[in-house]
Amino acid sequence: MLKIGQVTLTYPFILAPMAGITDLPFRMICRRYGCELAFIEMISAKALVYENRKTEKMIATRAEDRPLGIQLLGTEQEFILRALDLIRKYEYEIIDFNAACPVTKVTSKGEGSGMMKEPRKLGHLLKAIVDHTDIPVTVKIRAGWDEKSVNAREVALYAQDAGIKGLFIHGRTREQGYSGKVDYQVIREVKEALDIPIIGSGDVFSPLQVKRMFDETGCDGVAIARGALGNPWIFRETAEFLKSGMVPLRPDIHEVADIMAAHLRSIVEYHGPVMAPVVFRKLFVWYTKGFRDVKPLKDRAFRAKTEDEMLDLIAEFRGNESHAAKAVTVSDDLREL
Ligand SMILES: Cc1cc2nc3c(=O)[nH]c(=O)nc-3n(C[C@H](O)[C@H](O)[C@H](O)COP(=O)(O)O)c2cc1C
């Protein structure tokens, strides 16, 4: 069990925010498989204040998409507080603040992981956010800026003093981006130094790796990110694994195809029929990952222009028995550890 503010989770793993990915359809598919708490991708406070229509759409939710956190990005207090006022009506369960994004366009403005260089300023900003809202506030940090300045523990202590209710830590430095191995030790140090719930992030692509994050760091929760791409089953499988210790079977090709079709449908409803095939291309690739002989189908998915074309490709995928043996097996997964 994991408790952040008023949110209590039976299973302590969470869908992490992913820009361009964790939209409403993606979150709803993960929720089907037991994802309890999800996050909207990072939202620029300035973009929100300027009432960018695209941003409004990005923060849309619905009753079944709960509990839900929103993640704000920014560095100027004035805009962040105004953004908080604007999102009040959505009654999100958690407000997360992004001090982790490694993208140069973001960090060059001092935002995202740029904040790791200014722990005191981050602390002040978090205090202002906490004082401005009744909703529990969390922060997402990285291990540090680069390997020479791993300061997660110091940053985390400032954040805790500001009154936040939980802390997410991606155990990589900004310099590492998304490559290299996650540093469990730094997450453990943060966990040992703080009293609030710590949620570990990084390299959780399977139930065993989720368990490894818990075991190596002692963290209270785990945020699942790339491990959920084309793989909403990771939530169900991880819950089963943590409960029984048994590594569950992977979904068969029919379940994968069913979910692909359902996901495509909800993308059509959310993004409209013109954008939907474009949005679904990368999902086609992720869902079919590890199945044999799918390259020609993936190539065609990149040229598909309508929902029907995409549905035909999903039907072909389902119907071709040669795909059925998934190349990635449970034993591969065990070897990884
Ligand atoms: C495409 C992509 C977009 C991401 N967008 C965000 C974001 O908006 N906010 C955030 O805090 N982290 C973001 N992340 C980081 C993830 O939440 C996570 O911390 C990171 O991917 C490490 O976990 P993993 O190695 O298990 O994928 C993003 C990651 C990816 C791959």
Tens-digit pLDDT profile for residues 66-77? 999 999 999 999
Among candidate residues 243, 152, 240, the one with its CA nearest the CA of residue 202: 152
Tell whether the model's pLDDT for residue 330 goes beyond 50.
no
Secondary structure string (H, E, C) spanning 128-153: HHHHHCCCCEEEEEEEECCHHHCCHH
Quick check: CB of 98 below 6 Å from ligand 1? yes
> In sequence order, what are the beta bridge partners of 167?
139, 198
Quick check: CB of 34 below 6 Å from ligand 1? no
Residues of the chain with pLDDT > 70, as a percent, come to 95
Tell whether the model's pLDDT for residue 337 goes beyond 90.
no
- Reported confidence tier of residue 53, pLDDT bands at 50, 70, 90: confident
Mean pLDDT of 224-241: 97
Distance CA 262, CA 269 (A): 11
Mean pLDDT of 192-204: 98
Determine the distance separating the centroid of ligand 1 and the alpha carbon of 312, expressed in angstroms. Answer: 31
Quick check: CB of 226 below 6 Å from ligand 1? yes
pLDDT tens digits, 66-110: 999 999 999 999 999 999 999 999 999 999 999 999 999 999 999
Distance CA 183, CA 238 (A): 21
Tell whether the model's pLDDT for residue 203 goes beyond 80.
yes
Ligand 1 atom having least distance to the Cα of 100 = 11
Determine the distance separating the centroid of ligand 1 and the alpha carbon of 321, expressed in angstroms. Answer: 34
What type of residue is 258? D
pLDDT tens digits, 270-284: 999 999 999 999 999
Ligand 1 atom having least distance to the Cα of 227 = 26
- Hunting for tokens 């560095």 — which residue is that? 75
- Reported confidence tier of residue 326, pLDDT bands at 50, 70, 90: low
Report the pLDDT value the prediction gives residue 77, as an integer from 0 to 100: 98
Ligand 1 atom having least distance to the Cα of 204 = 26
Tell whether the model's pLDDT for residue 324 goes beyond 70.
no
Mean pLDDT of 14-37: 98
- Reported confidence tier of residue 52, pLDDT bands at 50, 70, 90: confident
Quick check: CB of 237 below 6 Å from ligand 1? no
Report the pLDDT value the prediction gives residue 325, as an integer from 0 to 100: 54
Least confident of 31-40, 189-198, 200-209, 320-329: 320-329
Report the pLDDT value the prediction gives residue 265, as an integer from 0 to 100: 98
Report the pLDDT value the prediction gives residue 51, as an integer from 0 to 100: 76
Distance CA 238, CA 248 (A): 8
Distance CA 248, CA 34 (A): 15
- Reported confidence tier of residue 56, pLDDT bands at 50, 70, 90: confident
Calculate the average pLDDT of the chain: 94
Report the pLDDT value the prediction gives residue 268, as an integer from 0 to 100: 98
Mean pLDDT of 42-55: 90
Among candidate residues 276, 155, 172, 170, the one with its CA nearest the CA of residue 219: 170
Task: Collapse the DSSP code of 325 into the 3-class scheme (helix H, G, I; strand E, B; otherwise coil) and give the result.
Answer: coil
Tell whether the model's pLDDT for residue 54 goes beyond 90.
no
Measured by CA distance, the residue closest to atom 10 of ligand 1 is: 17
> In sequence order, what are the beta bridge partners of 199?
168, 221
Mean pLDDT of 235-259: 94
Q: Can you spell out the DSSP letters for 44-73?
A: EHHHHHTT-HHHHHHT---TTS-SEEEEEE
- Reported confidence tier of residue 218, pLDDT bands at 50, 70, 90: very high
Quick check: CB of 227 below 6 Å from ligand 1? yes
